[in-house]
Amino acid sequence: MEVTRSEESVGEADGWSASLTPEKRAAIRDLHRLRPAWNLVAILFAALWACMLWLMIAFPLWVVRIPGYVVIGMLIHAMAVLMHEGIHGSLFRNRLLDRGIGFFLGAPALFSATAYRVTHMNHHRHNRTAQDPDEFTNVSKLRWIVVFLFYAWGVAGIIVYVFHVPIMALLRGTRRQRLAVLLEYALLAIVYAGVILGALHFGWFPAVLHGWIIPLFFANLFGNFRGWAEHMMTRPGHPLIQTRTVTSNGFVSFFMCNLNYHLEHHLFPAMPWYHLPRLHRLLQDDYRQAGSVVYRSYSRFIWDAVRTGPYGLALQSLPPKAAATP
């Protein structure tokens, strides 16, 4: 399929997918078709953010603010996930448009779309290997350090990752990519400085504090739990078992833009987010035969992760009968 040949769609399924039936391969090609109207969800996220901010300003009570922080944090995280779609060219299949929109979607979460693209493409190329910039066990050869950082991830993972992304991009990127990363961070610094200074000058800083800065902590938590579940405590070596899907529920999937279907995303990175649940259903027999790692809820995964630790396995699998659709 043409869409799996570009750099943005570097995946792990090329060799394995040859074993699929012609009918499944045809269905997968069809699932790569864009439905650009789905991207209007970004406008919905922005509108919900504005509504929550208005409520928090109109009713400055903790019973309003605390849920507001959680909801806005969830929306910031959702926008960052859509930025990730742009990294893979799955928003419009137009590099200029995908990257331009990706800049605005990633900025609230403190991410540079350009830096993330460099680091993330390396993650897809080298998933669960010594060259994977996101592989947790590559951090140190000392077990106690890995164990400490593993549990610390649940609290501060994305905070650290915000710095990890540009560092890895500058270390592993080409000269042209490094220049683009530096320019984009300079632009982000100007935007952030403009927002903060403008808010201080016009007396809007409370709105910025309660509507963005504090919710970033909750966006961090959502990103931590999602990121924890994607690869940690799986067996490396095969595309169907080294990445985990957490089907969860429709509410969670919507506000994660289906990135909880992470196994499906790694198999076919160019597939738009709104088609991933259908791919999940299509590949149930293949998953069951390979022993793929599929959890029904994040709460169950987190419980297993806390008990298991970074050197164990958290491998809840599909039921033996015909797959139940989440």
- The secondary structure of 70-99 as a DSSP string is HHHHHHHHHHHHHHHHHHTT-SSS-HHHHH
Alpha carbon distance 108, 102 (integer Å): 11
For residue 108, give Cα distances in angstroms to 49, 142, 219, 221.
Answer: 11, 35, 10, 15
* pLDDT over 70 at 293, yes or no: yes
Q: Are 12 and 231 in contact (CB under 8 A)?
A: no
The lowest-confidence range among 4-18, 188-202, 227-241 is: 4-18
The structure tokens listed for 288 are 């069951």
pLDDT, residue 6, reads 61
The better pLDDT of the pair 22, 155 is held by 22
Say yes or no to pLDDT of 1 above 50: no
Give the pLDDT score at 155: 84
Q: What mean pLDDT is predicted for residues 11-22? A: 83
Q: Is residue 117 pLDDT above 50, yes or no?
A: yes
The structure's pTM equals: 0.93
* pLDDT band, very low/low/confident/very high, at 318 (cuts 50, 70, 90): confident
- The least confident of 51-55, 133-137, 272-276 is 133-137
CB hemisphere CA count around 217 (13 angstroms): 9
pLDDT at 323: 40
pLDDT at 214: 97
Closest CA to 326 of 280, 285, 293, 283: 280
In order of 120, 164, 180, 211, 316, the CA distances from 147 in angstroms are: 24, 19, 35, 34, 21
Q: Please say if the pLDDT value at position 4 is more than 70.
A: no
Place of tokens 């990730």: 84
The average confidence (pLDDT) of the chain is 92
Handedness of CA 100, 132, 129, 312 (dihedral sign): negative
Looking at residue 173, its pLDDT comes to 95
Token pair listed for 160: 């650290």
**For residue 93, what are its two tokens?**
């299949």
CA 19 to chain centre: 28
Q: Over 70: is that where the pLDDT of 7 sits?
A: no
Mean pLDDT of 244-250: 96
Which region among 7-16, 93-102, 210-219 has the lowest average model confidence (pLDDT)?
7-16
* pLDDT tops 90 at residue 136: no
Reply yes or no on whether the pLDDT at 63 is more than 50: yes
* Token pair 């109207």 in the structure block, residue: 37
Whether the predicted pLDDT of 321 surpasses 70: no
How big is the CA angle at 84 (ends 83 and 87), to the nearest 5 degrees? 95
Residue 294: strand, helix, or coil = strand
Biggest CA pair distance of the chain: 63
